[in-house]
Chain A
Amino acid sequence: MTTTLHPAIAESNPLETTTTINTLSEDLIAEILFRLPARNLLELNTVCKSWKTLISNSRFALNHFRRSIADPTMTNPRLVYSTRHFVDCNIGFFPVQPLLENTSSPSSNPTTVVSFEMKDCLEILGSCNGLLCLLEIICNFVPCTGVESDWIEIEQRGVEVVNHGFGYDHVHDRYKLLLFVQKRRQEPKTPMVLTFGANNSWSTMPDFPFYPQRCKGEFVSGTLNWIHKVPVTLNSWMIVFFDLARESFGEVFLPFMNGEPVLQVARECLCVCVDHQKSHFDVWIMKEYGVEESWTKLIVISHVELKHYEPPYPLYLVYIYENGVVLAIPPTSYKLVLYDPNDHNRLHYPLFDSSSDGMTKFPMSERAAPRGFHVFHESLVSPSHLGFPSEVAYWN
């Protein structure tokens, strides 16, 4: 629950000018700091040593993130992308909230670009609790604090990462990366799990029941999820998950869909987007993970509203705002689109500053699709909390 300062108190209250508060215990200081966004807390690190110790603590960072996740003003959700082109060692990110507001004028929120020297072809594997996991080799990076971990090599040489999923095991307080690697096409894929920590440990899975068909596993509630086609059937899909704590597989119920569902995560829940009967897209959300009855139809977007639509390409959901507006990449248009289900289904094409993108020859607003988008929330969680070497990569 957030409380805003009433105008009456701001004007007349002596508190504003003359207050000092006697020394508060660490618990109470923490309660105050929990209510500030991650960005402000970075500054507050400099107030005094005890505050710095408190804010840098990994427990504090995680608790702060969990308490702030429901409020977009606290977590400042951002879209991060890489271009996946050769000799491109950059990632860019920009905040999601202003896209909603500045739809009719050029955005004044430039994209922040971070360069990683001497890397080629960066790919973002996933984001979790404010950490980004990047692949060239592998490293963890936190855009908010700018801390970058050391790069880790994949044990096997000369393999290609085919599928991946990055997530947080809350039972053991560990971040894990699940990779399926392959030496050559047509060869079997090997699953491997990397547990980040003081000794980054790789383990191979002895046996596993499926090969994910899509690239990225979606992280929700301690599990990585993929859509999987039910074998032998024509039109039937299910969701398979990998439990990060138990390192085991399972299945989650998915209501019958009339087309191939595309899995996304929005509002910390699993969503699927389905091209339904070739006339509209349905977006379903599983409000409570694992609970069959909590599957709810959230939005219906008809094909007519999406210009240039050509089947069978799916609609990629990127973010769902508090007020129900959807940020998406419609198939074949390569632009980010804001779709408002409440406003006669009008489309807006948000403008954002592509000139300072400087990442490749392809400006943002024209070719959005080749970039892989991930949503992340700002947090203080840091690779240094994981126990292995990291340092600050850039000043934000």
Chain B
Amino acid sequence: MTQLDRLSVYHWLNAWCIKPVGGALVRQEPEYILLALMGSPLKKIMLCSSEKEIFSVEEQVMVQHSVIINNMIEDGSYNHEESKIPLDCVDSKTLKKVIDYCTHHTHHHNDNQEDLEAWDAQFLNVDSNGLYDLLMAANYLEIRNLLDLIYGTIKNMIKGKKIDEIRRIFNIKDHGFTPEEEEQNRKEYPHFY
């Protein structure tokens, strides 16, 4: 979206701000119309982590990425003057990462694919707990592209691995098969064991 020259739009609107109110024609203040036209790109919203830390982030950024937040804003349940959005299942560290992701992708969506992928790779350079927390947060907030990125990474982690490794990765301590079933599995897929 190209950035409009606010000053020139302001002057233009100044000359034409006429709005019918109660039968009479009233001049509407240009600042409000400008905000309405541009969808308040710099309007901020407040997100509150589980640790009660408040993060201020551009509304446009979160609305573009998170289905949950977009719905909240659209149906009016979020009041800009007073509210903050409580995210009790997301801690501060993870929330900050999520906000980073959304902000980068909004501001850099015109970058070429390779640069974006490199940034994503660096972004996911986290430890295992971090990845899990990110997945939970992205799932809760319904951020489609972050989810795809994380799922793709996990999928690549298990591709080509043997069964012990996969059980370790997913923390599967009890596989639930009887010894006979396990024996049968070994026979069917020997290269996998």
Contacts and interface: CB of A to CB of B under 8 A. Distances in A.
Interface in A358-393: none
A20 B122 CA distance: 19
Overall SS of chain B's interface: helix
Interface stretch (B8-16, B82-90, B93-101, B184-192): B184-192
A12 interface: yes
A72 B132 CA distance: 30
Contact of B171 (A1, A20, A35, A40): A20
Contacts of B33: none
A9 interface: yes
Contact of A20 (B125, B148, B170): B170
B5 interface: no
Interface string A1-41: 11111101100111110111111100011011001100010
Given A32-B155, A36-B159, A49-B176, A15 B131 contact: yes
A8 B119 CA distance: 10
Contacts of B170: 20-21, 23-24, 29, 47
Nearest to A34: B151
Contacts of A117: none
B112 to A, nearest CB: 14
Interface size class of A (residues with CB under 8 A): 35 or more
A3 B169 contact: no
Interface residues of B, number: 44
Overall SS of chain A's interface: loop
B128 A19 contact: yes
A21 B128 contact: yes
In the A-B complex, the 5 residue pairs with the closest CB atoms = A3-B152, A49-B176, A6-B121, A9-B121, A46-B185
11 contacts: A6-B121, A12-B125, A13-B121, A20-B171, A23-B171, A24-B170, A31-B147, A32-B158, A36-B158, A43-B192, A48-B172
Interface of B: 117-118, 120-122, 124-129, 131-132, 135, 139, 145, 147-149, 151-159, 163, 166-172, 174-177, 185, 188-189, 192
Given A9-B153, A20-B171, A36-B155, 20 more contacts: A4-B156, A5-B152, A6-B118, A9-B125, A15-B124, A15-B125, A18-B127, A20-B170, A21-B135, A24-B135, A32-B155, A32-B158, A35-B151, A35-B152, A46-B163, A46-B185, A47-B166, A47-B175, A48-B167, A49-B176
